[in-house]
Amino acid sequence: MSADAELIRKAREKAQREHTTLNETFRGWLRQYVKAEVRVREFYALMQSLDYVRPVRTFSRAELNER
């Protein structure tokens, strides 16, 4: 892999400020990148499994915003 030297320098400086290394940050990003597709599939599977759920009535805007 390759990147602009100045960009790498700035990224290393930022990682240092965050008390980590650029390599560790990149490995974390790489894990997230690979897992993203799995999370999307899991989300759609969950939504499909909940497809049977139907509200018994229509809720007002105020009710939807209650906490």
Instruction: Output the DSSP codes for 14-40.
Output: HHHHTTS-HHHHHHHHHHHHHHHHHHH
How does residue 67 score in pLDDT terms, banded at 50, 70 and 90? Answer: confident
What is the value of pTM for the model shown? 0.57
pLDDT average, residue stretch 49-60: 90
Greatest CA span in the chain, whole angstroms? Answer: 59
Write the pLDDT tens digit of every residue in 13-53.
999 999 999 999 999 999 999 999 899 999 999 999 999 99
- Predicted local confidence at residue 25, as pLDDT: 97
Residue with tokens 């018994």: 56
